[in-house]
Amino acid sequence: MKTSENAIEDIKGSFRDSVATISQDGHRNFLNPKKPKGRLYNLRTRFSIFYLIVFFTLPFIKVNDEPLLMLNVLERKFIIFGLVFWPQDFFIFGIAMLTFMVFIILFTVVFGRIFCGWACPQTIFMEMVFRKIEYWIDGDQAQQRQLRSMPLSGVKLRKRITKFIVFFLISFIIANFFLAYLISMDKLLGYIQHPAENLGTLSALLVFTSVFFFVYWWFREQACIVVCPYGRLQGVLLDKNSIVVAYDHVRGEPRGKQTKQKTAEKEECNCVDCKNDGACKDLEKHIAVAAPSQGDCIDCFACVRVCPTGIDIRNGTQLECVNCTACIDACDAIMTSIHKPTGLVRYASETSIHEGKKLSFNWRIKAYSAVLLVLLTLLVTLIVSRTDLDARLLRTSGMTYTTLPDGRIANLYNLKLANKTHKDIPFTLKLENATGEITPVGSGQMVVKKEDYSNLQFFVKLNRSEVKSWKKILQIGLYENGKKLKTIEAKFIGPEVYE
Ligand code: SF4
Ligand code: SF4
């Protein structure tokens, strides 16, 4: 198997004409990025700890005995921040998805792939969980390469088995929580307590575990490069004003290493520290400073060595870049060591690098913002006006009206109710715009169980004097404990009236 050293060799002398993780002969260049160090890496570590706490805590939080977040695709039941969404609410769900997508597009236009580096679960688990464990077990880049190339020995076997067990266990934990987000933690714990009766669920758990294990053990950055659709959209979403992790080529070029001998011939170094003493004390570090005609990039490849997708950011924004910021930290460390200002690789837009301009609020951002605002307003209105009890009232099909022995006119109705709340709702019906009587058919149970549907058939009986034309719009009030929930309307059919 090829290694990250091969990836660097393949990058040298080429310009974005191949994928860094595939070697010239078509094999996988298996990457062993150097462990990043620096301000941004520390910040990302802190953020990911918070992120993981939220991820592993959410399935345990309940509202009214229901999970705070559940996305049960199989039963088509979705609970988002305590609100139950039913198939009837799918238009709200659709608008929410649309809003989310527009938000992602707008966000990407302005801030590039900041989501990938800071909040994508794949990056968080890969770089902040599994990669850290790998550094802990196998060591940093050099030790990992050494381990890979050494023949099978006791040490290698022990490290490989330890890593395998730890990776598998963490994949198993992630799979459990993934399932908890789908079916709720209560159900999952119930299944685990009775494994013999729930072999199907346990098989699903093992499948999920195997998928996660495969992704984090072997597939890794390929998930971002080959599979993720968001990454592939970057080409159409980013523009020259988007903020991305970028190399300042204006400042960095022409790049190049200067040999010790060449620098030594100059005898003097221009850096402030050395200038005062008249001679350079550390030629190795100060080589770039000693050559004023050269750009700031000393072609040290430190930014490439830490890159988890194996690319050279100096070749410009690339599909593989997940904006993890590792190259920023690596280059900042080099710049500091050669007494140059940091930020040769930094968050910047192409325009700001070329022209020194700040991000402008261009027409595309304005248009996206306007669409986003409209969608958000619509979404909030729909959620706020969403009722806990859905009611659909229809006259029973195939029937007109019945004249009762006492002369009253009766129509038969079907009332379908959907209770979207976590409690049973007892209800009563009342005629709002006519005098008459409502008589349920059969047991006429006037309660809708929590998260359930109910069907009720009932007659509406009106005095003959109430029916002044062959068709009348009836208004019926739906009440819970005397409190009106909503008014529903339906046609009432009677005999033709001749004046
Ligand atoms: S180029 Fe830099 S930001 Fe992009 S993936 Fe590589 S190390 Fe991360
Ligand atoms: S780390 Fe900085 S100086 Fe070194 S090659 Fe990358 S951009 Fe150039």
pLDDT in tens, 442-480: 776 688 888 788 888 999 999 888 888 888 899 999 998
Residue whose CA is closest, atom 8 of ligand 2?
297
**Cα 89 to averaged position of ligand 2 atoms, centre (Å):** 53
Q: Is 245 left (phi over 0), alpha (psi -120 to 50) or beta?
A: beta
Per-residue pLDDT reduced to its tens digit, 119-159: 999 999 999 999 999 999 999 999 999 999 999 899 999 99
pLDDT at 258 exceeding the cut of 50: yes
**Cα 303 to averaged position of ligand 1 atoms, centre (Å):** 8
Contact 324, 117 (CB under 8 A): yes
Q: Is the CB of 307 under 6 A from ligand 1?
A: yes
Confidence bin at 117 (pLDDT 50/70/90): very high
Q: Is the CB of 11 under 6 A from ligand 2?
A: no
Per-residue pLDDT reduced to its tens digit, 378-424: 878 877 777 778 888 988 877 888 999 988 999 999 999 988 777 88
Residue whose CA is closest, atom 4 of ligand 1?
321
Q: Is the CB of 334 under 6 A from ligand 2?
A: yes
pLDDT at 100 exceeding the cut of 90: no
Which pLDDT belongs to residue 265?
A: 44
Distance between CA atoms of 6 and 18, rounded to whole angstroms?
A: 13
Mean pLDDT of 257-286: 50
Which pLDDT belongs to residue 48?
A: 97
**Cα 118 to averaged position of ligand 2 atoms, centre (Å):** 23
CA neighbor of 356 nearest in space, from 252, 251, 253, 255? 251
The contacts of residue 276 (CB under 8 Å, 6+ apart) are none
> CA 285 → CA 247, 258, 277, 301, distances in Å?
21, 11, 16, 14
Confidence bin at 10 (pLDDT 50/70/90): low
Which pLDDT belongs to residue 281?
A: 54
Residue whose CA is closest, atom 1 of ligand 2?
331
Distance between CA atoms of 179 and 183, rounded to whole angstroms?
A: 6
Q: 3-class secondary structure for the chain?
A: CEEHHHHHHHHCCCCCCCCCCECCCCCEEECCCCCCCCHHHHHHHHHHHHHHHHHHHHHHCEECCEECEEEECCCCEEEECCEEECHHHHHHHHHHHHHHHHHHHHHHHHHCCHHHHHCCHHHHHHHHHHHHHHHHHHCCHHHHHHHHHCCCCHHHHHHHHHHHHHHHHHHHHHHHHHHHHHHCHHHHHHHHHCHHHHHHHHHHHHHHHHHHHHHHHHHCCHHHHHHCHHHHHHHHHCCCCCCEEEECHHHHCCCCCCCHHHHHHHCCCCCHHHHHHCCCCCHHHHCCCCCCCCCCCCCCCHHHHCCCCCCCHHHCCCCCCCCCCHHHHHHHHHHHHCCCCCCCEEEECHHHHHHCCCCCCCHHHHHHHHHHHHHHHHHHHHHHCCCCEEEEEEECCCCCCEECCCCCEEEEEEEEEEECCCCCEECEEEECCCCEEEEECCCCCCEECCCCEEEEEEEEEECHHHCCCCEEEEEEEEEECCEEEEEEEEEEECCCCCC
Give the lowest-confidence range in 160-164, 219-223, 368-372: 368-372
Confidence bin at 179 (pLDDT 50/70/90): very high
**Closest ligand 2 atom number to CA of residue 288:** 3
Which pLDDT belongs to residue 266?
A: 44
**Cα 265 to averaged position of ligand 2 atoms, centre (Å):** 24
Which pLDDT belongs to residue 267?
A: 45
Which pLDDT belongs to residue 7?
A: 54
Confidence bin at 290 (pLDDT 50/70/90): very low
Count other C-beta atoms under 10 Å from residue 275's C-beta.
13
Mean pLDDT of 282-306: 72
Which pLDDT belongs to residue 286?
A: 52
The percentage of residues in the chain with a pLDDT greater than 90, rounded to a whole number, is: 40
Per-residue pLDDT reduced to its tens digit, 36-94: 999 999 999 999 999 999 999 999 998 877 888 888 877 777 887 777 777 777 777 78
Give the predicted TM-score (pTM) of the model: 0.75
pLDDT at 199 exceeding the cut of 70: yes
Would you state the structure tokens that stand for residue 403, as one six-digit string? 């004249």
Per-residue pLDDT reduced to its tens digit, 307-359: 999 999 999 888 899 999 999 999 999 999 998 999 999 999 888 898 866 65
Residue whose CA is closest, atom 4 of ligand 2?
300
Which pLDDT belongs to residue 322?
A: 94
**Cα 97 to averaged position of ligand 1 atoms, centre (Å):** 29
Residue of higher predicted confidence among 184 and 88? 184
Which pLDDT belongs to residue 87?
A: 72
- Computed over every residue of the chain, the mean pLDDT equals 84
Given the structure tokens 């929590």, which residue do they identify? Answer: 450
Most confident of 10-24, 63-77, 190-204, 453-467: 453-467
Contact 248, 342 (CB under 8 A): no
pLDDT at 32 exceeding the cut of 70: yes
